[in-house]
Each structure stands twice: as C-alpha cells, then as structure tokens.
Chain A
Amino acid sequence: MSGQAVATISVAFDGSAGGADSDADPDYFQDLRLDQVQASLRRRGRIDVSPLFRRRLDDVGTIRRRLGVFADLQRDSELRAGLLRFVETMERVRGCRKNATDLHHDHQRRGWLLEGARSYLRAVRDLVGLLNAAAELGSGLAAIADHLSSLQQGEAFRSFATETAEVDRGLATIRYVVRIKGLRVTVSLETDQPSDDGYDYSAQVADTFARLQQMAAKSHVSKLTDTTSMSYVESDILDRVARLDPAPFDALRRFCDDHTDFLDPVLVRFDEEVQFFLRYLDVVTRLSARGVSFCHPELIEPGDPDRDEQVEDVVDLALALALAPGTDGRPVGNDFARSGAERVLVVSGPNQGGKSTFCRSVGQLYHLAAIGCPVPARSARVRLASSIDTHFERQEESADVGGKLENDLRRIHAVLSRADAGSVILINEMFSSTTLADAEFLGTKIIEQIAAKEAFGVYVTFVEALATLGQETVSMVSATDPEDPTRRTFQVLRSAPTGHHYAKALAERYGLVRGAVTDAIEARPAAVELDRDRPARQGRHDQEANS
C-alpha cells in the first residue's frame, strides 16, 4: 500500500498517531470469550481490525472520540451504508492495483490500473457526497470531511479524474469479432453494429424450444473461472485488436506512465480504521434485531467523586453471537450494581443456571467500554478498567489437585499484588476441587483483598457462606422459575426462589389451557394453505431433470 507518508488524521485516535499495537490477545480474552467476539469481526482476506479491538485505552478523550464516531454511524443509516460501500470500493482499488503490478501483459496491466483509478475516483466522490450530506458530524468524521474537500478541489485530483474518463471512453467503444475454425483464429473489428442480440444464436435456440417449457429452468451456464491472467492466445488477440485500433491503447499507455501512485494516505488510514466501527456496528445491528440492548457506557474517571457502578440488562455478547442465525431470541440479560463499600459480587446458585455467563458478560462489558465501543446493556455506568484479570476453572486442568491449588494461588497472588482501584477481577469457580473449608477460607481471603484494593470483583462460587461476608460483598443467585424449579431462568438475582412442579403447570407452560389454545389459533393471520403447490416453490427443479 502506498500510504508511506504518515497520515495524522484519524477516527480511532485522538491527537496522537496511536500507540504501539500488540499482536497478542490479552490473557483474559479466552475466558471471557472475547476471542469469539473478535473472530466475528474478521473478514476473510480483509483488513484485520483486531489491533483496535484488543487494546484497551487509558485515555478518556480517545474513547469519547470513538463513541462519537459510533454515534454518528448509529444515528445515520445512510452514512453507515455509504461507508460500507466506500470500504468495498477501496478493497477493489487495492485488488486492481495488485493486478496492475503482478500481471505481465502490458495492455492488461494498464487496463487494471485504469480500473483501479476509476474505482478510486468513485470512492472519493461518493465519500465526499456522503460526508457532506451527513448532518452534525462528530470531530472524528468531521476531520475526514474537511480533508477530503480540499483534496477533491485540488488541481491534481481534478485533472486526474478528467484523464481517467477520457481514456476509459476510448476503450469502451471498441467492438471486435473472433472467428475460430479448427486451429485458426481471425480477429477483425465489428463494423456494422446491430443491437447486441442481433446475431445471438442462443436466443434462436430458446425460441425453437419455447413451447416445451415446463418450469422455471435451471441455468446451464457454466461457471467459468475468470482468471485475471490471460492465455497467450488471448493476449495475441488483444495485441491484434490494438493494432486494428491503436489510438485508445496509446492514450492508456500515456495515462499509466503519468499516474503510478494516486492514493491519498489519509484515506488509506481512514479505510482501515473505519472498518473497525462498521464491523462492530454490524454486530450491534444483528443483535439489536433480536432484542439485545446496546448503549454508550458512562465512564467513571479517576477523581470522579461518585464512584457507584450500575448496569442494566447486560448480556454475554459471545453467547448472543453464538445463537444460531435465523433463530429468534437473545440471551437473558442481567442487572448488577455496586455502591459505597460494595466491591465484590458473589454469585452462587444451581449449576447451569447462568452464573458463568453472567461473570463473562460483566468482564466483556468492562473491556468493551475501555475500547470505546457501545456495550450490550440497556444502561451502563462503570469505571474505566485499569486492568482486567480472570481466573476461570477449566475442566482439563484438574489432573493434579495439589499442584493446581498452588498454581491457582500463585496466579491470584500476582493479580492481587498489581491490582489498584481501577482493576476488574473475575473469578469463576476457583478452588472447586478443594475441600469446602479450604474454599471458604481462601475465598474469604481473596475477597477481602479485592475489597482492600478497592478493585471490582465478580466471584462465582459454590460456597454460599462467601456471599454474606460483610458490607463489601453483594450476594447474587442464579434463579429458577418459582413455579417450576426444573426450569432455569438464566437470571442472576439477589434472591433464591423455590417452587413446585405440577402437571398442570407444565401444561400451562405449553399454552395448553382453553383460552390460550383458542387465542393461539384465532390469532393466526390467515389459514395456512395446506393444499397447493405454490408456484414460488420453483427452486427444486434441479433434481427433477436428473432424478
């Protein structure tokens, strides 16, 4: 890519040109399944936005700038659609320029450079129109709009556009005829120009057999791979076309000599960065359609006197993404809050009740807030995490209990040692393979230390005693349906309900009571047609021909 010149205008960073990128995911990515969220932002063969996704920011100004870009895009769907088109067009520009470098035949290479130029011009023009049409852009996109206006009005850019159009017009009007008989090839220009179908033999064939038509026919057009490289027979033909009509080809050669590098470095950087926003918003849109709420988090800055944190209806983003496409529904959302001296959410309750999911969703939220993204919650007021650490029980680790316990303690020791008032620590079923007494003792110690550091912790445990240690703990329980304890609600609340299980209750759950049955049938919009083969169902004829 050409952008060797440093582009100082950025939508992802405020002021500075951005810090050092890390190639590696943070340690907690796997436990929190942020690696899965990150994977959903990847596009095969496209720019990798992981560097922006994995690196937490410590600068509230940059976070605000990013949220400002998100706000612009969320407010204006036209703008978003337009930027998606811009990204696609820039991808195409890259592809064309690669062909223009990699291929061997001159007429062909130049043809691709011309196509790259056309695409680039289209990208710039569309982007200018798009940003000018958008109202009240935040500082990030406004800076890009300013830059583009001056670029487009420059003399160099304008003459580049004119030349591109002229050269293109000259080549587009050429029509020629290739005759192949045996091994002999004859090339000539088409002089009399009928409509394109005037000589078309396939129309005649279709006409002959029209009355036998049975169905929407399956296509027999072979998918011929269009390689960008030409066979020598094709390039021989092209050479002869150029000899028969040399002027347009000469104009193309001069154009290519004059314009080897036409990309603006600011646009190149913008193209890369804006994809981070667009892809994350793609996730937001998909999940919003299923009822997941997203909001812009309110960040508690160091020194802010009000340090209470409160989040409503947060879901596990990875889980929401993993629900099969096409199925309805969303993961159950949960609320949590801590105020005053409360430091640690101690989560207990039945297994498979959503405890781990809750823990992950909390951790994800702190990470997402710290990279300047909207978070999957209805509302969120949280600290800007200075560090995030996780300790999740993993099944495969449980071979050597003694060694494991020591390992666990070493790791948590390191975490606690470096923790500060901005830290977020997520612990899931630690010490589950030790004795209850040990688990209670060690758990108490750890919770006390998290509290002492004024860090924020989530501690998922089977030891219910830990939930009532004191004012620094908040007890939360994975709940079941009070009507039916066999049914898990996946909600994590502050109370532990109980209930009973009756056949009638079960039937009610299926809606099998008089009123519900009648309503379900009568509410159906129109009678389902059971009888007719709809004409719309034409796709299946493929098999008919062969079976």
Chain B
Amino acid sequence: MKVRLMLPDDDLDLDAPLPSWTDDLVVDLQAEPLFEAMAGGDDLLYAVARQVLLRPLDDVALIEYRQQILRDCSRVPEVVRALYELAGDALDVRRRVFGGFMRDNPRVVLHHAIDVLADLLPYLRRLRRIADEAMDRLGDSGLRTLFAAIVTDLDENYCQQVEAEIARLQLPGGVVIGKRLGLGNAGVGDVLHRPERQHLADRLGFGDTRSFSFQVAARDQAGVDALSDLESRGVNRVADAAGQAADHLVGLFRKLRVELGFYLGCAQLQTALETAGVAVTRPEPLRTDGSRLTAHGLYDPCLVLGGAGGAAARPVGNDLNADDRTTVVITGANSGGKSTFLRAVGLGVLMSQCGLFVCAEDWTWTLRSGLFTHFLREEDATLTSGRFDDELRRMKDIVDAVTPGGLVLMNESFASTNESEAAEIGAEVVQGLTRAGVGVVVVTHLYALADRLQHSRDEPLFLRAERRGDGVRTYRLVEAEPLPTSFGADLYARLSPWPEPQR
C-alpha cells in the first residue's frame, strides 16, 4: 500500500537535495511569504511547500495528477485535516519511544519494534474508518485510489493477523537456533526457528538424536552475558524483520502526513488569498509544441501575503502576451513595478508547474524545463571587481544548468560594470540563451542593452513601466519600446531634499 499523492509512481522525498540554484531563486523571487502562508506556522508544512514549489514538474500528466487530487481534497477539506492530524498523533506516540541509540543489540531492536507495532495498530484501524467514511464523496483521483487501498489492505482480518504476530514476536517459548561451523569452528549461520517448532521441541525433544544439556548458574554473570549474546545473535534477523515492519508502519504515517501536507498547505494559501480578496486561477497546462505564455491580471502573491510590511496593498495585475516570444524586455521607470512583475512571472511558473493554482485572472502556458534567476545583488557590493566576478560566476552556473525550454529571469544583470560593457555582455548572454531554445525575461534600465536586443533577430516583446504625465507611477506595464533615458532624475527629485552642498 503506497501513499502516492504527489507522484503516481513515487514518494515525495523531503530530504532530496534541491538544485544548487534554488537558494538564488528563493531570494530573488522573494518567495518566503508564499511558503509561510502555506505553512501557517507548521514547520512540516513549510518544508513540504518549499520542497514541492521549488521542484517544478515538466510533465503535463503529472501536473494534472496533482490538480485532480487538489480538487478532491477541496471536496473533503475536513477529512484531509483529520488525516493529517491523525498521522501527526501516530508519529508523536512513536517519537516518545523510538530512540536512535538502539543499534547493536538485537533484543532491544526487537522489543522496540514490538512496542512500535503495538502502539500504531490502533491508528491503523482509525485510519481505515476515516477512509471508509469519506470514500463516497471523492471523485476519481489519486486520493480515492489511496483510500480504496487503505480500506482493502487494512481490513479487520488483517489487523487481527498483525495482533497475533506481535504476540508471537515476544518468543514466550525461548529460542531454538540452527547453526553450523564457521571460521575457527565458531557457531554461525544462525536461523531462529519458528515458534511452532519450539512447542514441538518441548513435546518431543529434538527428534530421536542424543542431546547434551547444561545450565548456566544465575550468579555467573559472565555466563549469563554469554548466553544473552548467543540469544541476541539468534534473534538478529527476526529483529531486523520486525524493525523493518515497524519502519514501514511509521513510514506510512509519515508519508501520509507529508503528502497530505501539500494539499493542506494549498488550502491554507487559498484561504489567505481569498481573505485578501484577490483572484486565483486553476490553469490547464497546454500539450502543444512551441513556447506559449499568456497571462492576464498576473500579480505577485507575496505582496498580498504581506510578510513584514503587514499593510498588504491590493496588487496591480498586469498582462503578458508572450506567446512564441523567446525574449521579453522590461524597461522603464525605477520603482515602476518591473521587478515585481518579473517575480510574479517566476512564481507563476513555480506555482503552475507544481500543480497549484496561479495568482492571476488566467494563465495559459507550455511547461518550462527549469526556472533560473539572475538578479543584481546589492548586498555583495563589497568589492567592485569581486562583485562583477560573482555576477559572471552566477550566470555561468545558470548556463551550466539550464536546458532548452528553460526560462531565465534577468534583473539588471551585469550592472556592476559600466553600461557599455554590461550591455555587450548582457546581449551576448541573452542571445546565446535564446539560440539554445531558452526563454529570457530581462529587466533593465540600460538603454544600451535594450537597444542591442531590439536590433537582434529575436524580436523581443518590449514592456515598459508606465509613468503618467505627472510623474506618478501606476505599477502598470504597457507594451512599448524602450526610451533612451532612465527615470533616475525624477526618483532623485522625489526623495529630496538631499544634503547637497550649498553654492
């Protein structure tokens, strides 16, 4: 019986290392509030959200698999929460008993295993009852498959079988161990005989052969220890089998909790967004060839979810019509919403490709093989040359990792060197990427770079951060070609007075 709520043929491995560029992705997209909203203060939910969101799927069938389960989960939200909590309770019971220091003593291993099995058996029965009651309300999804398996595999007959085995594992009749001679004539090849054979031996002796017996004196500590060592060796493999059974049982509850945790997190995120009064859309991934990406009313959910600021402004939604475009170039006023929009695109890819809804009115896209970010970092401005070097190194890492069909988000890349060099290097990189079939969204205030890209064969889509005649920013992006000036002057003016020297 497998849980399989995240992938049809595998478990979610929470400990699987994320790709090396993931940390950059989280920092650049400022994605923490998203994870926190899904977690709602629960560390496990946080870990699950992070692991799943940062590992976008690139197979439409897998995305649909999760979307179906997500739909079923929203039909029985209280059941999802109840099972998540039941699994948590079961694991809590275990945590009290299950120490990590029991190795190297098979009898201790065996007794721990018996304790675990006995403690978790009631939870197994409760799990079956909950699944049984909820079955009728589910559609056709991986969740229903799981519930069906629980009801069938964990029927009462089986639970009684488990109960009986737990009793036998106590070895009430002592041990009977088959052996042969090994190195130095030591007894090896221990096979612990079945309990039935112990009873047989009690009644009949060991067949018709002779036997010799001896007794170890109770006060002879060395003898008692030696005897205990022999017994330990005899039960080693049975302890292993019982220990593995206990692990599987714990593993079942653990996986149940982890994988349900994703859907619980989705529900919590949706509640948070609905409370804020913003729309989400459940997109359908396109199976067509080519590169499609069209969105309306796309916004950055992390602005709504607040984070530190608290005063969550209603975000401005923007449109993007980038079907069959390899390059999108965003220019325009400083603080005009360029970076925010870039982040919204990135989060849209991550959310849609993990099976989640997207923060937009609609979102129509073909899957990207990977998402990468290359943002100017203010914080590593320690040494000018070192900083440029660091930018190059990060870009090199992206080039080494990205595959055709991937998407790279660049935000003021190479701004740590002078404009003409930055433009030249930037254009080289963008064109190198697009020629390999990698999509690029570039935010830049460098006219030189935008100008170079405009005259390349890529025919980029140009968006510009809008500025009204009175200089006020609307945070809206419009399709417009780059203008040969920056808006630094008015930003400077807005922040006045400056401590400028008096003439």
Q: Please give the residue numbers on chain A whose beta carbons come within 8 Å of chain B beta carbons, in ascending order.
A: 99, 103, 107-112, 115, 171-172, 174-192, 196-197, 199-206, 208-209, 211-215, 217-224, 226, 228, 230-234, 236-238, 240-241, 243-244, 503-504, 506-507, 510-518, 520-522, 524, 527-535, 537, 540-541, 543-547
Contacts and interface: CB of A to CB of B under 8 A. Distances in A.
B223 A521 contact: no
A105 B431 CA distance: 80
B271 interface: no
A176 to B, nearest CB: 6
B191 A200 contact: yes
A318 to B, nearest CB: 30
B180 A183 contact: no
Nearest to B91: A547
Interface string B413-446: 0000110010011001101110111100000000
B226 interface: yes
A20 B160 CA distance: 78
A543 B225 CA distance: 32
A109 B239 CA distance: 32
B503 to A, nearest CB: 37
Nearest to B436: A521
Interface in B142-168: 153, 158, 161-162, 165
Contacts of A178: 176-177, 179, 187, 230, 234
Contact of A205 (B242, B395, B431): B242
B404 A201 contact: no
9 contacts: A180-B177, A201-B195, A206-B244, A243-B212, A511-B399, A517-B435, A518-B432, A533-B12, A545-B98
Which of A203, A238, A507 gathers the greatest number of chain B CB atoms within 10 Å?
A507
Given A215-B251, A503-B421, 14 more contacts: A111-B184, A188-B209, A189-B210, A205-B165, A208-B165, A221-B239, A240-B212, A507-B425, A514-B431, A517-B429, A521-B402, A528-B401, A530-B58, A532-B10
A506 B389 CA distance: 8
A111 B183 contact: yes
B184 A220 contact: no
B429 A211 contact: no
A541 B396 contact: no
Interface string B237-274: 11111111111111110110000000000000000000
A110 to B, nearest CB: 7
A511 to B, nearest CB: 6
B226 A175 contact: no
B187 A220 contact: no
Contacts of A243: 212
B41 interface: no
A537 B13 contact: yes
Nearest to A189: B209
Contacts of A244: 209-210, 212
Contacts of B404: 521-522, 527
A507 B428 contact: yes
A513 B13 CA distance: 38
A540 B16 contact: yes
Contacts of A533: 7, 10-13, 16
A530 to B, nearest CB: 5
B489 interface: no
B316 interface: no
A214 B255 contact: yes
B483 interface: no
Contact of B216 (A183, A190, A241): A183
B191 A212 contact: no
B138 interface: no
Mostly helix, strand, loop or mixed at chain A's interface? mixed
B215 A532 contact: no
Contacts of A232: 222-223, 226
A514 B191 contact: no
B11 A215 contact: yes
B213 A187 contact: yes
B248 A212 contact: yes
Interface residues of B, number: 129
Nearest to A531: B57
A540 B15 contact: yes
A112 B251 CA distance: 44
Contacts of B13: 533, 537, 540
A530 B230 contact: no
Interface of B: 1-3, 7, 9-13, 15-16, 19, 55-59, 62, 98, 100, 103-106, 109, 113, 153, 158, 161-162, 165, 169, 173-181, 183-187, 189, 191-195, 197, 201, 205-218, 222-227, 229-234, 236-252, 254-255, 353, 369-370, 388-389, 392-393, 395-396, 399-405, 417-418, 421, 424-425, 428-429, 431-433, 435-438
Contact of A115 (B109, B183, B247, B370): B183
Nearest to A249: B185
Nearest to B208: A191
A503 B392 CA distance: 10
Nearest to A517: B432
A183 B227 contact: yes
Contacts of A219: 240, 244
Given A176-B179, A220-B109, A532-B10, A231 B185 contact: no
A527 B194 contact: no
A517 B374 CA distance: 15
A226 B187 CA distance: 11
A205 B181 contact: no
Contact of B229 (A231, A534, A537): A231
B15 A543 contact: yes
A222 B399 contact: no
A273 B106 CA distance: 44
A108 B186 CA distance: 7
Nearest to B395: A512
A218 B240 CA distance: 9
Nearest to A545: B247
The 5 closest A-B pairs by CB, nearest first: A517-B432, A220-B243, A181-B174, A231-B226, A209-B245
B232 A222 contact: yes
Contacts of B244: 206, 209, 217-220
A202 B247 CA distance: 16
Contact of B241 (A206, A212, A214): A206
A102 to B, nearest CB: 11
A180 B230 CA distance: 9
Given A506-B389, A522-B404, A531-B58, A185 B194 contact: no
Nearest to A110: B185
A179 B213 CA distance: 9
